[in-house]
Structure 1
């Protein structure tokens, strides 16, 4: 007997602005915590340190059923309960130890035949573009391995509210594949961008 979508536990970790309909969606942005408290949300808006888009993001979070969780510490589901875990453009924002903890936690949560889909920027592609174009500034900016130091208090407050967007590590297909094998995954496939082994990826 086949399970319906309602019977499957499918999880999006680090969903940000793109929660998946019909799935459990988790994020650990400070904005998510702020969005849950009307008075705190109003206070942040009165500070006027956020752009219009960032303020809209707070409202978006408030309207959607996104749950707070730090995937590098704990995904709040039972062991061997998840059919699918998906994380897009989150892993590169974790340092090496955090990334290992997240992948171990994902491994714990997945059923024996569950699927983990990880989407990250491709370091190999960035290097190939650099070697072809010889544009060092563009290459370094593309890696996002550092952010500009905030000069003003308002910028530091904004960073705390919406989070810093710099990358802590970069991967190519082979390095991520190696890491997943080290965690304990037995089958790892590197796919082109936009490809997935997940049937019915969202409602």
Structure 2
């Protein structure tokens, strides 16, 4: 089977063709990049880079998906759709549908707005009762909206001094790097968007179930021990 992993970032699989335009992927897909990566990446970034596996294709998805019509069996993307401006989502979904074979599987993972909203309401109710501190409640507000409003890239914010200044100057802020959330989805809105784009039978699934054969072995939504990578996510599949 040919399965595309779009906007893969560090999360790659040897069962997929992994496609991204992020700096780590560009380095991984280049001989020169692989030489300089150990000198540039440190800490968690280096660990994640070293763990990248499988074929990695350097490509900017703003230019479309570099595959022929009806040529792939599955398309997967995780925590990508929410980073796209809402008005470009229909174009992106139609491009996914274009490359999928008839009946091909489109698997989407996004942050679950319902999960985030319910956690906030529970925190608010607890704060009103006095069971949750103001500090803890502020943290739950941050979990809900921080990814939408922050200006600095998270990775860069963990750096200091000249390195931090250089990354902000050269790479730009969080929005320029595509790290901020431009929209959020739930189990009603995401299937509706897929239907509008021409996909059929959209349904909510779990992190370890899929109509893609042997999905757990792809190690994209779970690790080898079967632990979910991104709790609080919404998993939806539909067919072309």
Q: Is the 8 A contact 1:72 1:98 kept in 2?
A: no
Give 3-state SS (helix, strand or coil) of 1:190's partner: strand
The aligned length equals 192
TM-score w.r.t. length of structure 1: 0.78
* Residue deviations 1:169-200 (CA, integer Å, cap 9, x gap): 11111111111111111221122444322222
| Kept in 1: contact 2:148–2:180 (CA 8 A) | yes
| CA–CA separation in structure 2 for the residues paired with 1:31 and 1:107 | 27
| Secondary structure of 2:74's aligned partner | strand
Structure 1 segments, 4+ long, off by >6 Å, are none
Kindly indicate whether the alpha-carbon contact (under 8 Å) linking 2:10 and 2:24 is maintained by their aligned counterparts in 1. no
Q: In the aligned structure 2, how far is the partner of 1:38 from the partner of 1:160?
A: 23
| Paired residues of 2:9 and 2:25 also in contact (CA < 8 A) | no
Q: Which position in structure 1 is the counterpart of 2:59?
A: 69
Residue 82 of structure 1 contacts residue 111 of structure 1 at CA under 8 Å; is this kept in 2? Answer: yes
Structure 1, unaligned stretches of length 5 or more? Answer: 1-7
Superposed CA offset, 1:75-125 (max 9, x none): 111101111111111111211133222211110011111110001110011
1:53 is aligned to 2:55: no
Structure 1 position 128, deviation (Å): 0.8
Counterpart pick for 2:4 among 8, 11, 14: 11
Partner of 1:3: none
1:156 aligned to 2:146?
no
CA distance in 2, matches of 1:39, 1:186: 41
Call closer, same or farther: CA 1:64–1:199 in 2, change over 3 Å: closer
Task: Give the match for residue 227 of structure 2.
Answer: none
Alignment RMSD, CA only?
Answer: 3.0
Q: Secondary structure at the match of 1:85?
A: strand
CA 1:83–1:133 in 2, change beyond 3 Å: closer, same or farther?
same
Q: Equivalent residue for 1:78?
A: 68
Q: Which has the higher strand share?
A: 2
Query: Which range moved further: 133-142 or 81-90?
Result: 133-142
